[in-house]
Amino acid sequence: MKRTISLQDIKLLPGYRIEVAEKDLNTPISLSLTDKNEILIGDAGITSGGGKVYLLTATGPRLIADGFNPPLTGVTYYKGSIYVAHRGVITRLGADGTRVDLLTGLPSHGDHHNNKVVFGPDGKMYFGQGTATNSGVVGEDNHWLKKYPFFHDYPGSNVSVIGKNFKTKNLLAGASNEQAWTGPFSPFGVPVFQNEYIKGITKASGSILRANEDGSQLELVAWGLRNPFGLKFDRYNRLFCSNHGIDVRGSRPVTESPDEFQWVQKGMWYGWPDYTGGEPVTNPIFKPEGKKQPQFILSQHPMMPPKPVATFKPHAAIMGFDFNYNPSFGPVDEAYIAEFGSEAPETTGGKKTPGVGHRVSRISPNTGKVSTFLMNQTGRPASETGGGGIERPIDIVFGKQGEMYIVDFGFRKPFGSGEGYLPNTGVIWKVTKI
């Protein structure tokens, strides 16, 4: 499929210009700049079967390395090396071409994965680790179940569960009508009992982890985040992350769960799976239509979770972000964040989700105010309207000259035609101040 490009279809704030830096890419998911301001692009690898790393040259992308476990979720340039986050592994590519797996065995067989690495002021590498499930219970919505039948979520601290179990068809019993009862933080078909004690682990689901530059001394920073996709330190050494809300699917669906922009602090629990947007899932606003009111699954909570710095509409799917420090571009210290857009109807209980995502927004970390910076004239993704604007922004990076790069993942296959994305529809956009 050939993707149409039309800059006129994109609505920008006055005083800015947008252009195409590169097009015809396969699922670009991450961008990083070298010391020379060269562009590195990470390809998720979900259309080709293997993640790849490219260097963008004057004649187009040049392959640097491939064969990474899909999905590759991030590339990070640091001190002459490239750190690649891919399913279950963090790999370092040296300037001499050497390739070393620094961390392996990360709990990424489920719905979400280990995400892009960032380096902190302490010289350590930090990354987000997503959850195995939507809301803590393995069920019929987990397509990975037959391949990894014993996989499930793991807490980041010692917890006890109320003892609520969830009944579904036994997906591991072939064509029989057998039923299965599954508890939270438990393999499929394994129930829990009242006040059962579950031990916390370092490689926790829905967590922020950190390690030394060589991958040693892995430790847990915080947990209770469903999918902390984007991570970034600001110039005041504060760590922020983008976190996805709970979907309307599976054994424990939740509706109207917002996406969160969180300030990450060591030792904190951010609420998943019993809180969303800083509110308990027992709040009536989170009850899906025609479904039961979500109830707590933990008998005691590690702490009262903090309120997010900012929230986004459900299913906006906020992703990568970067802070602006160039006063000529815009307000200093504000974050610009990519909103990927929903994967309705699978994640929304069969409903469409109009008017969310598919844009770049601006966040004030000090006030929590969110405003749209860039979107299509129609407010809809290009594939839906037949236009030539943006589709699925997934990463934002500022260059050394104050330019903004937007990674656009590309077109999703039409619903009902199989999972995945269409090759050669990814774009890197460049925004500058006029």
Domain containing residue 196: CATH number: 2.120.10.30
In a domain, 294, yes or no: yes
> Does residue 1 carry a pLDDT above 80?
no
Cα(20)–Cα(7) distance, integer angstroms: 9
- Predicted TM-score (pTM) of the model is 0.96
Percent of the chain surpassing pLDDT 70: 98
Read off the pLDDT of each residue in 388-410 and give the average, rounded to a whole number: 97
> Does residue 415 carry a pLDDT above 70?
no
**Under the phi-then-psi rule, with left for phi > 0, alpha for psi from -120 to 50, and beta for the rest, what region is 42?**
beta
Percent of the chain surpassing pLDDT 90: 91
Give residue 355's pLDDT band: very low, low, confident or very high (50, 70, 90).
confident
In a domain, 326, yes or no: yes
Is the distance from CB of 62 to CB of 50 less than 8 angstroms?
no
Task: Kindly list the strands in the beta sheet with 318-323, ordered across the sheet, starting from the edge strand earlier in the chain.
Answer: 10-12, 370-376, 359-363, 335-339, 318-323
Cα(127)–Cα(73) distance, integer angstroms: 11
* Number of domains within the chain: 1
Question: What pLDDT is recorded for position 343?
Answer: 86
Helix, strand, coil percent content, the chain, rounded in steps of 5 = 0, 40, 60
Read off the pLDDT of each residue in 119-134 and give the average, rounded to a whole number: 98
Question: What pLDDT is recorded for position 417?
Answer: 52
Kindly report, residue by residue over 145-180, the tens digit of the pLDDT: 999 999 999 999 999 999 999 999 999 987 778 999
Residue with more model confidence, 324 or 366: 324
Burial letters 75-113, b for 16+ CB under 10 A, else e: bbbbeebbbbbbbbbbbbbeeeeeeeebbeebbbbbbbb
N-term to C-term CA, the chain:
33
Cα(362)–Cα(378) distance, integer angstroms: 19
In a domain, 414, yes or no: yes
Give residue 110's pLDDT band: very low, low, confident or very high (50, 70, 90).
very high
Kindly report, residue by residue over 303-339, the tens digit of the pLDDT: 999 999 999 999 999 999 999 999 999 999 999 999 9
Amino acid at 342: S
> Does residue 360 carry a pLDDT above 70?
yes
Question: What pLDDT is recorded for position 349?
Answer: 81
Kindly report, residue by residue over 191-247, the tens digit of the pLDDT: 999 999 999 999 999 999 999 999 999 999 999 999 999 999 999 999 999 999 999
Give residue 416's pLDDT band: very low, low, confident or very high (50, 70, 90).
low
> Does residue 345 carry a pLDDT above 90?
no
Q: How far is CA 59 from the centre of its chain?
A: 31
Question: What pLDDT is recorded for position 354?
Answer: 66
Cα(328)–Cα(351) distance, integer angstroms: 42
Burial letters 16-52, b for 16+ CB under 10 A, else e: bebeebbbebbbbbbbbeeeeeebbbbbbbbbeeebb
Task: Count CB atoms within 10 A of the CB of residue 375.
Answer: 21
Kindly report, residue by residue over 22-62, the tens digit of the pLDDT: 999 999 999 999 999 999 999 999 998 899 999 999 999 99
Query: What is the SS3 assignment for 285?
Result: helix
In a domain, 2, yes or no: no
Question: What pLDDT is recorded for position 214?
Answer: 97
In a domain, 1, yes or no: no
Range of the domain at 15: 7-433
In a domain, 261, yes or no: yes
Burial letters 197-225, b for 16+ CB under 10 A, else e: ebebbebbbbbbbbbeeebeebebbbbbb
Query: What is the SS3 assignment for 9?
Result: helix
